[in-house]
Structure 1
Amino acid sequence: MNIFYSLVTKRIVATVSALLVVVIGCAAGFWQLSRANEKIALAEHLAARQQMTILNANTQDWGLEEANQRRMIARGIYLPQASVWLDNRPRPLPAGGVANAAQSGFLLMMPLKLEGVDRILWVNRGWAPRNNEDRETLPLVKTREGLVSIEGIVFAHPGKVYELGKKTGDAAIGAPRIEQNFELEREGQLHHWEQSPFILRENEVGVEDGLLREWAPLTTGVDRHYAYAFQWFALALSGFLFWLISGLIQQRKHGDQSE
Structure 2
Amino acid sequence: MNKLFNALVSKRIVATVSALAVIAIGCGAGYWQLSRATTKITLAANLQARQQMPILNANDRAWTLSEAAERRMIARGRYIPEAAIWLDNRPRPMPVGGVGNPAQAGFYLMMPMRLDGGDEVLWVNRGWAPRNPENRETLPPIDTPTGVVNIEGIVFAHPGKVYELGSEKTSSATNAPRIEQNFDLNAQAKIYGWTQPPFILRLEEAGIKDGLLREWAPLTTGVDRHYAYAFQWFALAAAGFLFWLISGLRQYGREGVVKEDSGER
Q: State if a TM-score over 0.5 links the two structures.
A: yes
- Within a 5 Å distance, the mapping from 1:37-186 to structure 2 comes to 37-168=38-169, 171-186=172-187
State, as a whole percentage, how many aligned pairs show the same letter.
68
Aligned equivalents of 2:62 and 2:141: distance in 1? 33
Measured after TM superposition, the shift of residue 192 of structure 1 is 1.2
Aligned equivalents of 1:129 and 1:102: distance in 2? 11
Q: 1:59 to 1:4 in 2, by over 3 A?
A: farther
Which amino acid counterpart does residue 59 of structure 1 have in structure 2?
A: D
Q: Is the contact made by 1:57 and 1:72 (CA closer than 8 Å) also made in structure 2?
A: yes
Aligned equivalents of 2:215 and 2:33: distance in 1? 26
Match of 1:5 in 2: 5
Q: Secondary structure at the match of 2:167?
A: coil
Q: Secondary structure at the match of 2:49?
A: helix
Q: Secondary structure at the match of 2:19?
A: helix
Aligned equivalents of 1:96 and 1:256: distance in 2? 61
Q: Is the contact made by 2:128 and 2:213 (CA closer than 8 Å) also made in structure 1?
A: yes
- Within a 5 Å distance, the mapping from 1:216-227 to structure 2 comes to 216-227=217-228
> C-alpha deviations, 1:33-53, integer Å up to 9, x for none?
000000000000000000000
Match of 2:252 in 1: 251
- Within a 5 Å distance, the mapping from 1:188-207 to structure 2 comes to 188-207=189-208
Measured after TM superposition, the shift of residue 127 of structure 1 is 0.2
Aligned equivalents of 1:184 and 1:214: distance in 2? 24
> C-alpha deviations, 1:24-78, integer Å up to 9, x for none?
1000000000000000000000000000000000011001110000000000000
Gap regions ≥5 residues in structure 1? none
Aligned equivalents of 1:89 and 1:67: distance in 2? 25
Q: 1:73 to 1:237 in 2, by over 3 A?
A: same
Q: Is the contact made by 1:74 and 1:151 (CA closer than 8 Å) also made in structure 2?
A: yes
Q: What TM-score results when the alignment is normalised by the length of structure 1?
A: 0.97
Which amino acid counterpart does residue 40 of structure 1 have in structure 2?
A: I
Measured after TM superposition, the shift of residue 111 of structure 1 is 0.3
Q: Is the contact made by 1:173 and 1:191 (CA closer than 8 Å) also made in structure 2?
A: no
More displaced 10-residue stretch of structure 1: 173-182 or 61-70: 173-182
Q: Secondary structure at the match of 1:195?
A: coil
Aligned equivalents of 1:240 and 1:206: distance in 2? 55
Q: Secondary structure at the match of 1:196?
A: coil
Runs of 4+ in 1 over 6 A off after TM superposition: none
Q: Secondary structure at the match of 2:63?
A: coil
Alignment pair present for 1:229 and 2:233 = no
Larger radius of gyration: 2
> C-alpha deviations, 1:184-218, integer Å up to 9, x for none?
00011111111111000000001111100000000
> C-alpha deviations, 1:153-173, integer Å up to 9, x for none?
000000000112223475201
Measured after TM superposition, the shift of residue 10 of structure 1 is 1.7
Measured after TM superposition, the shift of residue 98 of structure 1 is 3.6
Which amino acid counterpart does residue 113 of structure 1 have in structure 2?
A: R
Alignment pair present for 1:31 and 2:29 = no
Aligned equivalents of 1:133 and 1:96: distance in 2? 29
Q: Is the contact made by 1:170 and 1:190 (CA closer than 8 Å) also made in structure 2?
A: no
Q: 1:43 to 1:70 in 2, by over 3 A?
A: same
Aligned residues: 259
Aligned equivalents of 2:96 and 2:170: distance in 1? 41
Aligned equivalents of 1:4 and 1:51: distance in 2? 62
Q: Secondary structure at the match of 2:89?
A: strand
